[in-house]
A and B are shown apart, each in its own frame.
Chain A
Amino acid sequence: MIEISNLSKSFVTASGTVDALRNINLTIHDGDIYGIIGMSGAGKSTLVRCINMLERPTEGNVRLDGVDLGSLSKKKMQEMRHHVTMIFQSFNLLMQRNCLQNIMLPLKLTHMPKDQAVKRATELLATVGMADKAKAYPAQLSGGQQQRIAIARALATDPKVLLCDEATSALDPKTTHDILTLIREINQKLGITVIVITHQMSVVQEICNRVAILENGTVVEEGDVSEVFSNPKARATKRLVYPDMSAGIETLGTEHNQMVRLVFQGAEAATKPLLASMAMECRIAANILSATTRTLDGKVYGTMLLNIPGGPEELARAVQYLSGTGNVRVQVESEYAQQMGQTPTGEEE
């Protein structure tokens, strides 16, 4: 278990002090795949670097299984980093060493005898699906393959915790998916706790069970992924969950009254057939203005913004029809605007 309490970090720079993190409190349980999401500059990298003490917290502390990592001696801290390992956005492989040698690096650092290290590294190559690349150099590999080698290297010392700082941000969607799948397998098969730093909601959605939203160095929301997704509270969370929503409102103009927001809270119904059946049964052909729905464990989460053609009567019928679907919340535009925090009654702050 990782307990981060009252953690603050400020950097003193020529142009003044930067408060990168302010009073962070998080608990990450064993076996979690814990997402930390935020926009660029939110402090994500600083936070993850505080977890393995690459960055010394200005205040507060980080405990791993009850041990305050800040109190460790230099030697103990280096030992700790064999148990809390890290992968990076830019993979950071040794370019002058082949894949096997790259994976052996942490084993060399722990003075494992060479034959044993070769054996272990070879096993790990197979674990990450790169058994045929032992002698290849990183420059000969694709980004996804390089990240696999980096993951194997991070696993070499049998860590308890794997820190991933934007580990898929340099990869295309397909490769991202493959790497995330690998990380999930590692989490499940090896029982390694994973902390995933990302600016992409889709990454959190795909593999995390818990998530914290970081904005300007503070945690603005934290909880189970499904909960946070179906009912985002903080404005930063909404921006991340529904990236194109606020744009939708502004461009609507005169059709304000006819806008309906559907919130899928783990609905069994697929979105497409729902609208198709509404068109058939109510003779209302809704326009999809924006949709940010996602499927998690076979259930639909997220939101969809519909424009209902016609007058108030059509709107009422559409709302009635859509409300009859399980785990779907229906809101007409005025409530919606309120939820977005655009009126004085917005619930945050």
Chain B
Amino acid sequence: MDYFARYFSEKKIADAMVLIREDFFQATLSTLYITLMSTLFAILIGLPLGIILVTGDAKGIRPLPRWLMSILNWIINLLRSAPFIILIVLLMPFTRMMLGSAVGDGGVIVPLVIAAFPFVARLVEGSLRELNPNIIEMAQSSGANTWQTVFHVMLPESVPSLITSFTTAITTILGYTAMSGAVGGGGLGNLAIAQGQQRSNHAVLLAALVILVILVQIIQTFGTWLARKSDKRLKN
């Protein structure tokens, strides 16, 4: 009972309702904006890297020097193993340098992209490795060069799998944006921390949680639907 009295008093619920009415819509839009922008940049960097991880492999269609591949793998693993919250703090000076500010929507996109692109690279690598090797052999025997093999064969054949991967990326980045609220990023995470946690109003926290859950569900459902719809291996 104490718990409810402390975090869900009538006054707090009333405060929460005001916040929900006045600030939540803006915060949700802000979260979506940060998520989509971060995902976009993470894909712009992660997709080519993922392709290189596959084609540059010793058994790939265009093997790259061993040391280069080792460095690439090492950097990706390093960035992936760093907890996101630490990454943000470490990257603050860098962000400030790039954008002139380390807080707000823009300020959080830089660390998000840096945290997410290695993840996206691994997802892309996984999708491309699923490809039937006979298809690659067909491309090579048809006289396709590396570039053509990637763009006319590997990527088009991986579209459904890539859509699934990118859906995973968006939902994961959405989770990261909530965390970034703790260190000055905008959006629902910030609202939850500033209003919910610091003022001990768990009704606000709960409301932010519900919205995040709904967003994840919508994105995931849409992504799954799109992947299925795009997959021509399924009859009809």
Binding site for B on A (CB under 8 A): 52, 54, 74-75, 77-82, 85-86, 88, 90, 92, 94-98, 105-106, 108-110, 137-140, 153, 157
Q: Contact between A78 and B138 (Cβ–Cβ < 8 Å)?
A: no
Are B144 and A85 interface neighbours, CB within 8 A? no
Residue B135 interfacial (CB < 8 Å): yes
**Complex: how many Å from CA A140 to CA B142?**
24
Of all chain A residues, the one with the shortest Cβ separation from B148 is: A109
Summed over the interface, the residue pairs from A and B with CB atoms below 8 Å come to a total of: 73
Q: What 5 additional pairs, Cβ within 8 angstroms, besides A95-B157, A96-B157?
A: A78-B145, A79-B143, A97-B156, A106-B142, A109-B152
Cα distance A80–B134 when bound, in Å? 20
User: In the bound complex, do residue A78 and residue B143 qualify as a contact, i.e. CB atoms below 8 Å apart?
Assistant: yes
21 contacts between A and B (CB under 8 A): A54-B141, A75-B145, A79-B143, A81-B140, A81-B141, A82-B143, A85-B141, A86-B142, A88-B137, A88-B138, A92-B135, A94-B156, A95-B233, A96-B157, A96-B230, A105-B153, A106-B143, A108-B152, A109-B142, A139-B233, A139-B234
Interface digits, B224-236 against A, CB 8 Å rule (1 contact, 0 not)? 0000001111110
Contact between chains at A95 and B232 (CB < 8 Å): yes
A94 to B160, CA, bound (A): 13
Q: Which residues of B contact A137 (CB under 8 A)?
A: 232-233
Closest-CB distance, B17 to chain A (whole angstroms): 49
With a cutoff of 8 Å between Cβ atoms, the chain A residues found around residue B159 in the complex are 96
Among B138, B144, B232, point to the contact of A96 (Cβ < 8 A): B232
Q: Which residue of A lies closest to B134 (CB)?
A: A92
Assuming the contacts A96-B159, A108-B152, A139-B235, asked whether A81 and B142 have C-beta atoms less than 8 A apart, the reply is yes
Q: Is the CB of A85 within 8 A of B233?
A: no
Q: What's the Cα separation between A110 and B145 when bound, in Å? A: 11
Task: Give Cα distance in the complex from A81 to B231, angstroms.
Answer: 30
Q: Do residues A92 and B233 form an inter-chain contact, with CB atoms below 8 A?
A: no
Measured CA separation A95–B132 after assembly (Å): 10
**Distance between Cα atoms of A139 and B160 in the complex (Å):** 15
Contacts of A77 in B (CB 8 A): 143
Docked pose: A140 CA to B234 CA in angstroms: 9
List of 10 A-B pairs having minimum Cβ-Cβ separation, nearest first: A81-B143, A92-B138, A78-B143, A137-B232, A86-B141, A95-B233, A82-B143, A92-B134, A96-B232, A139-B233
Q: Which residues of A contact B231 (CB under 8 A)?
A: 96
CB-based contact A78/B156 at 8 Å: no
Are B137 and A54 within 8 A (Cβ)? yes
Give the residue name and chain of the B residue nearest to A97 (CB).
B156
Chain B residues positioned under 8 Å from A86 (CB to CB)? 138, 141-142
Residue of A nearest to B136 (CB): A92
- B interface SS class: helix
Are B144's CB and A92's CB within 8 A?
A: no
Most A Cβ at <10 Å: residue of B138, B156, B159, B230: B138
Given A92-B137, A108-B152, CB of A140 within 8 Å of CB of B143:
no
Residues on the B chain within 8 Å of A54, using CB: 137, 140-141
Contact A80 B233 (CB under 8 A): no
Residues from chain B with a CB closer than 8 A to the CB of A110 are 143
Interface residues of B in 142-193 (CB under 8 A from A): 142-145, 148, 152-153, 156-157, 159-160
Is B144's CB under 8 angstroms from A90's CB? no
Residue of A nearest to B159 (CB): A96
Question: Could you say which residues of chain B place their CB within 8 Å of the CB of A105?
Answer: 142, 152-153
A140 close to B134 (CB less than 8 A) = no
Shortest CB–CB separation between residue B236 and chain A, in angstroms?
8
B157 and A94 contacting across the interface, CB-CB below 8 Å: yes
Do residues A85 and B135 form an inter-chain contact, with CB atoms below 8 A? no
Q: Specify which chain A residues have a CB less than 8 angstroms from the CB of B156 in the assembled complex.
A: 94, 96-97
Instruction: Write out the residue numbers on chain A whose beta carbons fall within 8 Å of the beta carbon of B142.
Output: 81-82, 85-86, 105-106, 109, 153
A75 to B147, CA, bound (A): 13
Q: Report Cα–Cα, A137/B156, bound state, in Å.
A: 14
Per the bound structure, the CA–CA distance linking A88 and B134 in Å amounts to 9
Interface centre among B132, B143, B144, B231 (most CB of A within 10 A): B143
Asked if B144 and A78 sit within 8 Å, CB to CB, the answer is yes
Q: State in angstroms the CA–CA spacing of A157 and B140 once bound together.
A: 15
CA distance A98 to B153 in the complex (A): 13
Cβ–Cβ < 8 Å partners of B234 in chain A: 139
Contact A139 B134 (CB under 8 A): no
Residues on A with C-beta less than 8 A from B232 are 95-98, 137-139
For the complex, give the distance between the alpha carbons of A74 and B62 in Å: 12
* A77 CA to B141 CA, complexed, in Å: 10
Please judge, given known A-B contacts A54-B140, A81-B143, A85-B142, whether A96 and B233 are in contact too, CB under 8 Å: yes
Instruction: Give the nearest-CB partner of B142 in chain A.
Output: A106
- Measured CB to CB, the closest approach of chain B to A199, in angstroms, equals 18
Q: Is A52 a contact partner of B141 (Cβ separation < 8 A)? A: yes
* A-side contacts of B138, CB under 8 Å: 86, 88, 92
Check if B157 sits within 8 Å of A80, measured CB to CB.
Answer: no
Please, how many angstroms separate the alpha-carbon atoms of A140 and B134 in the complex?
20
How far is A105 from B151 in the complex, measured between Cα atoms in Å? 11
Within B206-236, the residues touching A (CB, 8 Å) are 230-235
